[in-house]
Amino acid sequence: MFSGHAESHPRLVGDIGGTHARFGLITAPGAAISQIVTLRCAEHAGPLEAIRSYLAAQGGIQPRHAAIGIANPITGDELRLTNNPWQFSIRALREALGLGELVFVNDFTALALSLPHLDAAGLQQIGPGQALRGAAIGVIGPGTGLGVSGLVPVKGQYAPIGGEGGHVSLAPYTDEEFAVTAALLREYGHVSAERVLSGPGLLTLHRALARVRGLAEPQLDGATITRQALDNSDVLCADTLAMFCALLGSTAGNLALTLGAQGGVFIGGGIVPQLGDYFARSAFRARFEAKGRFATYLAAIPTWVITAGNPALTGAAVALQQALNENPPT
């Protein structure tokens, strides 16, 4: 799997989101990522404490290098997470852990780096389309926030995009979506895609849809909304999840047009893979293609849900190999 010199191992890879932090180890050249553990961020004061807890549970192993995808823009040494109270210095963290190299990349940049290394068993195609080899690729996914990234071809290889596309303005399509957006605009002043296309956003969307329909604002959690939508036991929950999938389709279509993502658009994050066949039956794909004169263009672009476990750890490993000037995995 992953190359490199024996003396540069073991290596730590991680994926830190708003709610969970996942870590794994590459113990030797050619080894796959192993000893993968998921920790709750709220149970640790910061990444140093979380990593030390993880390493202690693995017998006190000392990694030589590390790379971590994180749900945050990487704009300097000091990081303050958007959906998590952790704040820290990359340099201080590297020194405290005794690492030679410590690489941080946006979590969806890490996910993007993993895409060329996913096989068909870890993907569910939604709708038609066939990837154009060597073309740009998009990735988007609702979780604690809304992650967005992509890969663009550069001299025969792919380069990842590190951006904050989850904070673009929401693009409503139906009359009721416009009404919901207007209600949220009055409340928040700006309605980003992440405002509704995320775990917390599902609750926001549910509440706003009730308000638009003149109903009492419900007090349900995301798991209950999803469960009652999937078993069709509550109309408001069912309509909320249907609108969620439709708006995600519109947002993913915008990403495909922006990148020219004829290599396909991948759906990651923690929410959509749990929806199973419901998502395939939803309005996601129809709304992905509903772009007027460019509907035919989008109809040719494939979309997939990522069902593989922990792909961002693979992307972090790729980012570390790039930082160490090694060849990426094939």
pLDDT band at 156 (very low <50, low <70, confident <90, very high): confident
Q: Do 6-107+310-323 and 119-307 fold alike per CATH?
A: no
Which residue bears the tokens 């009730």? 210
The answer to whether 83 and 71 have CB atoms below 8 angstroms apart is yes
User: Is residue 14 marked as binding?
Assistant: yes
What is the rounded distance in angstroms from the CA atom of residue 187 to the CA atom of residue 190? 8
Per the CB < 8 A criterion, the answer to whether 123 and 304 are in contact is yes
One-letter amino acid for residue 82 of the chain? T
Element (H, E) at 12: strand 11-16
Question: Are 230 and 211 in contact, with CB atoms under 8 Å apart?
Answer: no
Residue 141 is assigned to a ligand binding site: no
Supply the pLDDT for residue 87. 93
Quote the pLDDT of residue 329: 44
More confident residue, 329 or 110: 110
Cα separation, 180 vs 80, in Å, equals: 31
CATH for 6-107+310-323? 3.30.420.40
**pLDDT, greater one: 119 or 22:** 22
Q: Are strands 101-106 and 65-70 parallel, antiparallel or unpaired?
A: parallel
Q: For 134-142, what is the mean pLDDT? A: 96
- The answer to whether the CB of 299 falls within 8 A of the CB of 129 is yes
Q: Does 162 count as an annotated binding residue? A: no
User: 183-192, pLDDT tens digit by residue?
Assistant: 999 999 999 9
**Residue 223 structure tokens:** 């798991």
pLDDT at 57 over 70: yes
Give the per-residue pLDDT at 330: 41
Query: 87-128, pLDDT tens digit by residue?
Result: 999 999 999 999 999 999 988 899 999 998 898 999 999 999
59 is in an annotated binding site: no
Q: Over 60: is that where the pLDDT of 61 sits?
A: yes
CATH number corresponding to 119-307:
3.40.367.20
pLDDT above 90 as % of the chain: 82
How high is the mean pLDDT of the chain? 93
pLDDT score at 4: 67
**Which tens digits make up the pLDDT trace of 247-291?**
999 999 999 999 999 999 999 988 999 999 999 999 999 999 999
Q: Where are the domains of the chain?
A: 6-107+310-323, 119-307
Q: Which of 151, 138, 141, 209 is nearest to 178 (CA)?
A: 209
| pTM of the predicted model as reported, rounded to 2 decimal places | 0.87
Tokens of 48: 């140093």
Q: Are 324 and 26 in contact (CB under 8 A)?
A: no
**What is the Cα–Cα distance from 166 to 20, expressed in whole angstroms?**
19
- Asked whether 112 and 149 are in contact (CB, 8 A), the reply is yes
